[in-house]
Structure 1
């Protein structure tokens, strides 16, 4: 009996080793976030004196009040939500349409278009800021939330287009043929049939776009130079950095406020995110 038990434990040893390794990696990966939450409830002095200690001596809930009210993060949250939701909506519709055409139709120049899209992946973001600012100035959109939305949603989004193209390519053509026989045009086929079927991919693209837009710093910084009320959460984080000192506990509280919507959205969409990536890779 003991020999059988020993043999069984020996066979499971590699599995337990993998579990232990993954558990250690999970703790290392999650610890910075846990420490940030802990720092958001400490005084500025305790942040430095407590070291790696997680539980604060005294819970300083006023840090959140200071971040939300004094640092104007309430206003920045509204700006960020409007900016992110609008950008996600535009990017999803635009990339879904482009991916649908590239994935389902054959036409001259298709390979050239795909090559140009892939080539844009190698263009640094910094090289595009000057033409974006110049064009926004010409259209009187530089110091506005509308201009910021158009600038962020006008990116190439090559990954999103290719994910949609790969997903639409694997759908059966009978769906379109049946709808066409019933008198449906391009728009009706796309919005009534194809787009609802691509929900896993849409969730993936929406989540990736949400993350990129929510954390965007460079473009929102440029567009809010002349109007601080247009700042987003990432840009507003600078309010805690002074000339001679930095409010680390207030910055940690602001960081927690900024990251909680991302965590909540990911937990809600994680199943669709995995399905969308798996479907695109499978195609």
Structure 2
């Protein structure tokens, strides 16, 4: 008598979830997240959209409501801001000050971060503590020493004086980012370079700094935003030199004692904001990697 082999029942077989249920749950989760984040994003970017829409409105339409779409597009606001308010020359001044301050400050900050991150020396914790405490120091307290220093260097009334003032400062965030990033790199790179006869500057410039591209991009963005948007220092240093004004100070000139050109101010603010957006779009990947790598 031939008996058929029966399949044992005591084995537990893994239950497979149908793919449709997984896709449905994923789609539901993404839908819920989008339903929450989209309104938050719209609320977040609404002031920027309102500023852009105000740049193509008249002053009456700006105070007529919070709508984004004007009845008539007025591109003459940009022409008036660029030519009549001299925003074009202020834009070039700001480009010069920002670019030169980046070229001065970023290598200096990177070297300070390199020393803090790679070397041990007496008072290292004190230096780090002083840098951290400098974050809470208001900028207005340093105006008089900076102004006096620029005058003693005979750089008053020039763009180089404004550039040096913008490039100075503690730059605490960028310094700590460099220090945290350099401290994670292997020590064998430095030892191999020293065996080849490389000195301090060559090890820093040829080996460690190229590895810190994400932090360099982060420092460039931070310095760009600081120099491009700074108002107090350029205002003090250009009180007697209107032709040396930067964009932030030039936009302030739209406001007078009896009248404020709000549409022209919105157009000038839009012009001044576009370079920051373009730079961040190009360097956002490195910005995120630099912050994440330094924190890690």
Determine if the TM-score, normalized by the shorter chain, exceeds 0.5: yes
For this structure pair, what is the TM-score category when the shorter chain's length is used for normalisation?
Answer: over 0.9
- Residue by residue over 1:154-192, the C-alpha shift from the partner in whole angstroms, topping out at 9 and shown as x without a partner, is 101111111000000000111112222222111111111
- Residue by residue over 1:24-60, the C-alpha shift from the partner in whole angstroms, topping out at 9 and shown as x without a partner, is 01001111111111111112222222x1222221111
Task: Give the secondary-structure state (helix, strand or coil) at the position aligned to 1:59.
Answer: coil
What is the rounded CA distance, in whole Å, between the counterparts of 2:221 and 2:84 in structure 1?
A: 30
Against the structure 1 CA distance between its residues 54 and 91, is the aligned structure 2 distance closer, same or farther, given a 3 Å change threshold? same
The structure with the largest alpha-carbon Rg is: 2
| 2:149 is the counterpart of 1:135 | yes
What is the rounded CA distance, in whole Å, between the counterparts of 1:21 and 1:144 in structure 2?
A: 50
Task: Give the secondary-structure state (helix, strand or coil) at the position aligned to 1:156.
Answer: coil
Q: Scaled by the length of structure 2, what TM-score is found? A: 0.89
Match of 1:22 in 2: 37
| 2:108 is the counterpart of 1:100 | no
What is the rounded CA distance, in whole Å, between the counterparts of 1:167 and 1:8 in structure 2?
A: 39
**Deviation of 1:254 (Å):** 0.4
| 2:220 is the counterpart of 1:206 | yes
Q: In the TM superposition, what are the counterparts of 1:253-264 in structure 2 within 5 Å?
A: 253-264=267-278
What is the rounded CA distance, in whole Å, between the counterparts of 1:143 and 1:8 in structure 2?
A: 65
Match of 1:221 in 2: 235
**Deviation of 1:8 (Å):** 7.8
Match of 1:192 in 2: 206
Question: Over the residues paired in the alignment, what is the CA RMSD in angstroms?
Answer: 1.8
Q: Scaled by the length of structure 1, what TM-score is found? A: 0.93
Gaps of 5+ in 1: none
What is the rounded CA distance, in whole Å, between the counterparts of 2:98 and 2:83 in structure 1?
A: 22
What is the rounded CA distance, in whole Å, between the counterparts of 1:6 and 1:183 in structure 2?
A: 63
What is the rounded CA distance, in whole Å, between the counterparts of 2:190 and 2:127 in structure 1?
A: 24
Match of 2:138 in 1: 124
What is the rounded CA distance, in whole Å, between the counterparts of 1:34 and 1:281 in structure 2?
A: 33
Picking from 94, 99, 104, the partner of 1:90 is: 104
Picking from 165, 176, 183, the partner of 1:162 is: 176
What is the rounded CA distance, in whole Å, between the counterparts of 1:8 and 1:195 in structure 2?
A: 45
What is the rounded CA distance, in whole Å, between the counterparts of 1:111 and 1:165 in structure 2?
A: 13
Picking from 34, 39, 42, the partner of 2:54 is: 39
Q: In the TM superposition, what are the counterparts of 1:56-71 in structure 2 within 5 Å?
A: 56-71=70-85
Match of 2:16 in 1: none
**Deviation of 1:122 (Å):** 2.0
- Residue by residue over 1:193-223, the C-alpha shift from the partner in whole angstroms, topping out at 9 and shown as x without a partner, is 1111100000011101111111000000000
Task: Give the secondary-structure state (helix, strand or coil) at the position aligned to 1:240.
Answer: coil
Gaps of 5+ in 2: 1-18
What is the rounded CA distance, in whole Å, between the counterparts of 2:125 and 2:79 in structure 1?
A: 54
